[in-house]
Structure 1
Amino acid sequence: MMSIKALLAKPFAKYIHNSVQKWANNPIKTQDKVFKHLISEAESTLFGQDHNFKNIHTFEDFVNQVPVRDYEELKPYVLKVVDGEENILWKGKPLYFAKTSGTTSGAKYIPITKESMPTHIEAARNAILLYINETGNSSFVDGKMIFLQGSPILEKKNGINLGRLSGIVAHFVPKYLQKNRLPSWETNCIEDWETKVDAVVEETLPENMTIISGIPSWVQMYFEKIQDKTGKSVGDVFKNFNLFIFGGVNYEPYRAKFEQLIGRKVDSIELYPASEGFFAYQDKQNEQGMLLQLNSGIFYEFIKADEFFEDAPKRITIKDVELNVNYVMIISTTAGLWAYNIGDTVAFTSLKPYRVIVTGRIKHFISAFGEHVIGKEVEQAMKEATAQTDIRISEFTVAPQINPESGLPYHEWFVEFENGPDNLQELISKLDKSLQKQNSYYYDLIVGKVLQPLKITSIKKDGFQDYMKSIGKLGGQNKIPRLANDRKIADKLYALKVTK
């Protein structure tokens, strides 16, 4: 029999669905309202004064006054905020800093304000409610839910709390979910990732788990430990587990492995959260892409990825985006980020409503020979090449081999197989053909004998985990880049290859 909580979830889900439809069906008007609100609220800040906000009335004015910046370029303002100064990027002081490990700048401090914090919580909540409204399935609200995340212990810096985003969010779990939520506070505070996952396994094994959430690579470790401990599939251990919520990386390369670990298919919801904002979530089970959050205090701009490194690339709003074009996403937010390049590339899968997929990172690509291969392309190639086979991949990354011992240069794929191919050459051929089909530059380089077809280097079991541990980035919000334009990662992985 359905509980009161599960019954009440359905009308609330319907109400939220209707409210989301209102702004999703009026996207241009919604974004225009967000834009005007941002400019007027920040007019008297130091940034607003420096960039003449009082004379910004149109998007064109904004483009003329406010250049696109990444964290390094915005850092002089951010450091003033970190030092405790008020009214710098946004009115007053932020509530929190989300501390992230930047690749070039060491620690990054991303402000989270009184205005921006609720949008993170609402988007995560609405993703689940839209799922309930679409499927009619609300029984999972009675079971236990696990959110694998960073430690909720926060430090203070000049009176402002700072920590990882997932740890900050842990302080805002709604009261009605507190009883259902795992792991315990004590377990969540364990810093060492492997120790933490072991503790999570112990806490969750006796429970009625219905939702499991986290970055796929972390959840995979959790699932494998459950299987090792019980000798059963995850689906047998947690018979009512029917919803997997994930974000941070593309799930497709993990899907076959997860279905094997679980022992059956479960529904999934993809999220697109970041320290800088909660940008999108999957709103339909059978539609590709995630609904772009146009009503969350974030104003979006887009620059074609192919043009991004030109001197003055054209900046456009959602009004002018096209389907299936690779864009760098630029944001301005109620946290005081202005024309800010978060480094992600996205493509639109739908314009009514606006849905996106994350295609990679603008800095994560291979163009050692002018091919500009992106994350989405290598993931699509792997998906196509392993479809309708028994091959299962634990993890992979790709790097150029510019100076091979013999022959032409090539792309080297480092692959950790859960279940390897009977015929490695056949897999290589399928991967290469898929990549040529997707990327005309790569095709030309292969046909023109500038590159030879890709090669695969097999990595030993848990090799990627060993690599992440060796650089102090196991767990947390850390993930392996899908590809790189250099061999920094590749050369370290080479020591972890399978030796025959």
Structure 2
Amino acid sequence: MKKRIHDIDLFRKYPHEVQEELFRNLVSTAKHTEWGKKYGYSDIKSVKEFQERVPISTYEDLFPYIDRVMKGEQNLLWPSTIEWFAKSSGTTNARSKFIPVSPESLEDCHYKGGKDMLSIYVNLYPDTKLFTGKGLSIGGSHHPSEHNSKISCGDVSAVIMQNLPVWAEAMRTPPLKVALMDKWEEKIEKMVEVTVLENVTSLSGVPTWTYVLLKRILEVTGKQNILEVWPNLELFTHGAVAFGPYRQLFRDIIPTNNMHYLEVYNASEGFFGIQDQRGTEDEMLLMLDYGVYYEFIPMDQFEEEQPQTLTLDQVELGKNYALVISTNAGLWRYKIGDTIRFTSISPYRIKISGRTKHFINAFGEEVIVENAEVAVTKACEETGAVISNFTAAPIYIESEKRGGHEWLIEFEKQPDNLERFTQVLDDTLREVNSDYDAKRQKDIALLQPVVHAVPQGTFMNWLSKKGKLGGQNKIPRLSNTREYLEEIMEVNGL
């Protein structure tokens, strides 16, 4: 672990050199693939040439190659044999994406990220007792491809768990046969049964589903808080959704100042960031030696067909960028769908600011997920509320009505006053987003938000009806249409 901290310090100190070397290795390795031959990888000598020759890709652009690999062809996007695919919905829509997972990406990205997370944590907290117990992780499930029985598909967590070395499997709970169950309700019950008997010292997973498990554990055991079940619990490693709105939920259920929370940025496409400082909450070190080459699209150019991308040495603090990656699994100049902004450039640290498709801009207000999460967190703090989930969408302008935003919020603990909650939400959005503030001036274009406190279980019920319980599935925080919001209300009879 100490040796690895030294390596991390090297890419902190020499970020551009590390990325340049990695870029050359990726292009060289893939030069004899079908993709590499198509774009002349053999004689690409610079990043500039790479950017000029190779188009920026969406999933739809790469799908014809991915589909062929899933049916058994190899050496199309990457030379190694691809036998695993991470199934990603990204959101809760019906279309699933299948992301290739090469042996290199599994070992040098996903596993390396997990090991680095432990290395960084131990470096931050050298007195840890983490390894005296087990780590509890909530995985998804996997299954053979319908096209090819030699190919397996599943949540990236399931792909990782299934391929863990024996020593790593011995350090975690529940056992694989439980962790990889595909029926969510049955899995939760079995996880409770198995894990309450263990000495759990750490948790990892998506905050939403982890909280569902912890609540069920308290219901079954009759305990008041999780420390009565696992007195040595000290770490929750979380990712996939912003933790701010969930922070109070976990403080209530794990009431100790000795509990540590570490944010990671891991996705089906790769492992990208790890919180490397105490007390920085959602600020993460961009991991530069994981077989991922990074480019960045300024968000004001995102809608262009082939926008100019920036390399790491060209980015600026505080600006929103769409993330573009080239990876050791054959994703080339791939728009991952996330937006980030840099909080530091020496070393490079980032915050996830949202999704390229998750925003509200019906009236030129350009509200992004980060704005919404900051506002919800502030409104909860001011009114004593605790939330479990939320979504928001525009209210369109009609002939006699002005527009606005409509919010569905599921409270774990109701605010002392819903009107005040709404006011703080609105005020905070105006503070953090000047475009929203301008549209709210004297209600000229936007009225104050309409907030509905929906019954507990509303969002889970919707996910269940869509067959999306568990795994990496998430509630879309913001949408520029009313599709999700109206569907949630209809399913729940609201």
Measured against the shorter chain, the TM-score band is over 0.9
Deviation, structure 1 residue 489: 1.3
Distance 2:181 2:340 in 1: 34
Q: State the percentage of identical aligned residues.
A: 36
Distance 1:331 1:411 in 2: 33
Deviation, structure 1 residue 27: 0.2
Q: Which residue of 2 aligns with 1:10?
A: none
Matched, 1:319 2:313: yes
Alignment map for 1:90-489 (pairs within 5 Å) = 90-101=78-89, 106-118=95-107, 119-151=109-141, 154-155=144-145, 157=148, 159-231=150-222, 232-265=224-257, 266-287=259-280, 288-402=282-396, 407-447=401-441, 449-489=444-484
1:413 and 1:454 in contact (8 A); partners too? yes
Q: Which residue of 1 aligns with 2:32?
A: 44
Q: Secondary structure at the match of 1:387?
A: helix
Q: In the TM superposition, what whole-angstrom CA distance separates every residue of 1:42-67 from its partner, at most 9, and x where no partner exists?
A: 11211111112223211111111011
Q: Which residue of 2 aligns with 1:57?
A: 45
Deviation, structure 1 residue 155: 4.8
Q: Secondary structure at the match of 2:104?
A: coil
2:31 and 2:41 in contact (8 A); partners too? yes
Q: Secondary structure at the match of 1:115?
A: helix
Deviation, structure 1 residue 129: 1.4
Q: Secondary structure at the match of 2:295?
A: strand
1:459 and 1:496 in contact (8 A); partners too? no
Q: In the TM superposition, what whole-angstrom CA distance separates every residue of 1:360-410 from its partner, at most 9, and x where no partner exists?
A: 110111111121211000001112222254211111111111157974211
Are residues 339 and 416 of structure 1, via their aligned partners in 2, closer, same or farther at CA, if it must alter by over 3 Å? same
Distance 1:105 1:382 in 2: 28
Q: Secondary structure at the match of 2:463?
A: helix
1:458 and 1:497 in contact (8 A); partners too? no
1:328 and 1:344 in contact (8 A); partners too? yes
Query: Which amino acid is 2:18 matched to?
Result: T
Distance 1:220 1:286 in 2: 21
Q: In the TM superposition, what whole-angstrom CA distance separates every residue of 1:162-201 from its partner, at most 9, and x where no partner exists?
A: 3321111012334333333111222123211111111111
Distance 2:187 2:111 in 1: 24
Are residues 380 and 456 of structure 1, via their aligned partners in 2, closer, same or farther at CA, if it must alter by over 3 Å? same
Distance 2:184 2:299 in 1: 35
TM-score by length of 1: 0.93
The number of equivalent residue pairs is 487
* The 10-residue stretch of structure 1 (262-271 or 458-467) with the greater mean CA deviation from structure 2: 262-271
Distance 2:469 2:435 in 1: 35
Q: Secondary structure at the match of 2:168?
A: helix
Query: Which amino acid is 2:104 matched to?
Result: E
Are residues 459 and 444 of structure 1, via their aligned partners in 2, closer, same or farther at CA, if it must alter by over 3 Å? same
Q: Runs (4+) of structure 1 moved beyond 6 Å?
A: 102-105, 496-499
Deviation, structure 1 residue 101: 3.2
Deviation, structure 1 residue 22: 1.2
Query: Which amino acid is 1:107 matched to?
Result: S
Q: Secondary structure at the match of 1:86?
A: coil
Distance 2:195 2:68 in 1: 43
Distance 1:255 1:107 in 2: 30
Deviation, structure 1 residue 285: 2.0
* The 10-residue stretch of structure 1 (305-314 or 108-117) with the greater mean CA deviation from structure 2: 305-314
Q: Secondary structure at the match of 1:116?
A: helix
Alignment map for 1:75-94 (pairs within 5 Å) = 75-94=63-82
Distance 2:421 2:492 in 1: 18
Query: Which amino acid is 2:238 matched to?
Result: F
Q: Which residue of 2 aligns with 1:5?
A: none
Q: Which residue of 1 aligns with 2:489?
A: 494
Distance 2:493 2:247 in 1: 24
* The 10-residue stretch of structure 1 (103-112 or 238-247) with the greater mean CA deviation from structure 2: 103-112
Distance 1:152 1:162 in 2: 5
Distance 1:16 1:446 in 2: 50
Deviation, structure 1 residue 72: 0.3
Deviation, structure 1 residue 488: 1.3
Distance 2:142 2:70 in 1: 20
Query: Which amino acid is 1:443 matched to?
Result: D
Distance 1:388 1:210 in 2: 32
* The 10-residue stretch of structure 1 (88-97 or 253-262) with the greater mean CA deviation from structure 2: 88-97
Distance 1:107 1:249 in 2: 19
Deviation, structure 1 residue 495: 4.1
Alignment RMSD: 2.0
Are residues 177 and 112 of structure 1, via their aligned partners in 2, closer, same or farther at CA, if it must alter by over 3 Å? closer
Distance 1:425 1:404 in 2: 24
TM-score by length of 2: 0.94
Segments of 5+ residues of structure 1 without an aligned counterpart are 1-12
